[in-house]
């Protein structure tokens, strides 16, 4: 299935039903008074996150969603039936944006989470509500209000723990094959990855994380060059970035340090906050170098960059050095979880002390 990570749709809520003008007419009850019922409320439009969906491809076929109108009120103070809501299922990780204002309406990050995107109209009041001491037979009823209509843009941002960065042909797809059960396309030419791939990396029972491989970035990606531009959003949610670098490029004059700086520049253009994420260097394709040259060449790049974060030398195709990275990544997340738990316990203890004091 083609991966679709952006769609634009129109959502229209139902109008409220009109209130009814009616009077009680029964034998032996003259001047029975007003008994017009209220109109029903119009249906609303909701989005609901569903973990069984992976793309927004369905919205290429249907672009307009309309909820049901509320029923008009009736005599004998009978209220009109409310219109049925429309619930649209979207993948977990979908961000919703108002096209008219570019305002972010909401972000659906958990299975079953719902978001109201168009509020249904309110039913009008029947004439029974307009009775007063000076107007015993009101010939007036309220009209139902119109339901909201919005044009919204849906943007899917993958929910992965680890994101893979790098130039085309850096070996990202090979790396994700080496550490997970994902099977993205691998070939000896650039841009073999045309859409993001997700893989689950399992260390042991109850210890695993999700890794995302996105199409390779090139200089100018944030401005629309290459394929990776449209997928940069997918690494925004990740907690750790693995920056893959080809340690043995075929083209002469290619400087791995300059490639790292170029990717950093694209991240800065797209979202400066992405450079604040933990990022580790992974020097790939070590199998193309003699063993004695691998470490010195990688260290030279690290020194040229002034790199202080962790770095590794691996051969993804031979699965050499990949398992230590997996263990280190898992430990990183375990430490994060422990720190968050400790912070929550400290906050709870301080709150308890404050209540006791």
pLDDT digits (tens, 9 = 90+) for 286-326: 998 898 999 999 999 999 999 999 999 999 989 999 999 99
Residue 356 lies in a domain: no
- Do 166 and 152 lie in one domain? The reply is no
Q: What is the pLDDT of residue 27?
A: 77
From the number of C-beta atoms within 10 Å of its C-beta (0-12, 13-18, 19+), residue 115 rates as middle
- Do 141 and 192 lie in one domain? The reply is no
For residue 247, give both structure tokens: 């340690």
pLDDT, one tens digit per residue, over 191-229 is 344 456 777 788 887 788 888 877 655 454 444 444 445
- Do 226 and 278 lie in one domain? The reply is yes
- Do 127 and 204 lie in one domain? The reply is no
From the number of C-beta atoms within 10 Å of its C-beta (0-12, 13-18, 19+), residue 123 rates as buried
Residue 133 lies in a domain: yes
Report the C-alpha gap between 5 and 185 in whole angstroms.
19
pLDDT, one tens digit per residue, over 74-124 is 988 899 999 999 999 998 889 999 998 989 999 998 899 999 999 999 999
Among all chains, which residue has been given the structure tokens 């300059």?
A: 258
Report the C-alpha gap between 338 and 9 in whole angstroms.
42
Q: What is the pLDDT of residue 190?
A: 40
Residue 291 lies in a domain: yes
From the number of C-beta atoms within 10 Å of its C-beta (0-12, 13-18, 19+), residue 196 rates as buried
In this prediction, residues 248-274 reach a mean pLDDT of 82
Residue length, the chain? 357
Q: What is the pLDDT of residue 195?
A: 57
For residue 289, give both structure tokens: 């170098």
Residue 40: CATH number of its domain: 2.70.210.12
Number of domains making up the chain:
2
Residue 311: strand, helix, or coil: strand
Domain end residue (candidates: 126, 156, 186): 156
Report the C-alpha gap between 101 and 104 in whole angstroms.
9
For residue 308, give both structure tokens: 């202080």
- Do 117 and 212 lie in one domain? The reply is no
Residue 239: CATH number of its domain: 3.40.50.300
- Do 198 and 238 lie in one domain? The reply is yes
From the number of C-beta atoms within 10 Å of its C-beta (0-12, 13-18, 19+), residue 310 rates as middle
Does the global pTM surpass 0.75? no
- Do 170 and 148 lie in one domain? The reply is no
- Do 234 and 254 lie in one domain? The reply is yes
- Do 24 and 87 lie in one domain? The reply is yes
Residue 352 lies in a domain: no
- Do 69 and 177 lie in one domain? The reply is no
Report the C-alpha gap between 235 and 329 in whole angstroms.
16
Which residue range(s) make up the domain with 185?
162-341
Domain end residue (candidates: 121, 141, 156): 156
Domain end residue (candidates: 156, 181, 207): 156
- Do 43 and 94 lie in one domain? The reply is yes
Report the C-alpha gap between 128 and 334 in whole angstroms.
64
Report the C-alpha gap between 281 and 179 in whole angstroms.
16
Residue 238 lies in a domain: yes
Residue 257 lies in a domain: yes
pLDDT, one tens digit per residue, over 18-67 is 999 998 887 777 777 899 999 999 999 999 998 888 778 788 788 999 99
Residue 349 lies in a domain: no
Residue 78 lies in a domain: yes
Max mean pLDDT among 121-125, 157-161, 176-180, 248-252 falls in: 121-125
- Do 111 and 142 lie in one domain? The reply is yes
Q: What is the pLDDT of residue 176?
A: 87
């Amino acid at each position: 299935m083609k991966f679709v990570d952006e769609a634009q749709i129109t959502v229209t809520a139902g109008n409220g039903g009109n209130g009814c003008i009616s009077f009680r007419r029964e034998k032996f009850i003259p001047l029975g008074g007003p008994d017009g019922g209220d109109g029903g409320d119009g249906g609303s439009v909701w989005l609901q996150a569903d973990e069984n969906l992976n793309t927004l491809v369905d919205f290429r076929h249907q672009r307009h969603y309309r909820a049901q109108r509320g029923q008009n009120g009736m005599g004998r103070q009978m209220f009109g039936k409310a219109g049925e809501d429309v619930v649209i299922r979207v993948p977990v990780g979908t961000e919703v944006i108002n096209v008219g204002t570019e305002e972010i309406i909401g972000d659906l990050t958990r299975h079953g989470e719902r978001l109201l995107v168009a509020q249904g109209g309110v039913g009008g009041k029947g004439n029974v509500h307009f009775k007063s001491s000076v107007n015993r037979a009101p010939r007036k009823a309220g009209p139902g209000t119109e339901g909201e209509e919005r044009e919204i843009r849906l943007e899917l941002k993958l929910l992965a723990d680890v994101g893979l960065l790098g130039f085309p042909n850096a070996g990202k797809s090979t790396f994700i094959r080496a550490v997970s059960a994902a099977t993205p396309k691998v070939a000896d030419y650039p841009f073999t990855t045309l859409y993001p791939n997700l893989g689950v990396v399992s260390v042991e029972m109850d210890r695993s994380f999700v890794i995302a491989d996105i199409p390779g970035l090139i200089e100018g990606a944030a401005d629309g060059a290459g394929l990776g531009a449209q997928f940069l959003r997918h690494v925004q949610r990740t907690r750790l970035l693995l920056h893959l670098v080809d340690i043995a490029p075929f083209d002469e004059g290619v400087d791995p340090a300059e490639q790292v700086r170029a990717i950093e520049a694209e991240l800065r253009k797209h979202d400066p906050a992405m450079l604040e994420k933990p990022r580790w260097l992974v020097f790939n394709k070590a199998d193309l170098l003699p063993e004695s040259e691998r470490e010195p060449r990688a260290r030279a790049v690290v020194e040229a960059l002034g790199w202080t974060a962790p770095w590794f030398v691996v051969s993804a195709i031979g699965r050499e050095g990949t398992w230590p990275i997996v263990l280190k990544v898992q430990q990183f997340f375990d430490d994060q979880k422990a720190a968050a738990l400790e912070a929550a316990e400290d906050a709870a203890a301080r709150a308890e002390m404050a209540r006791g004091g």
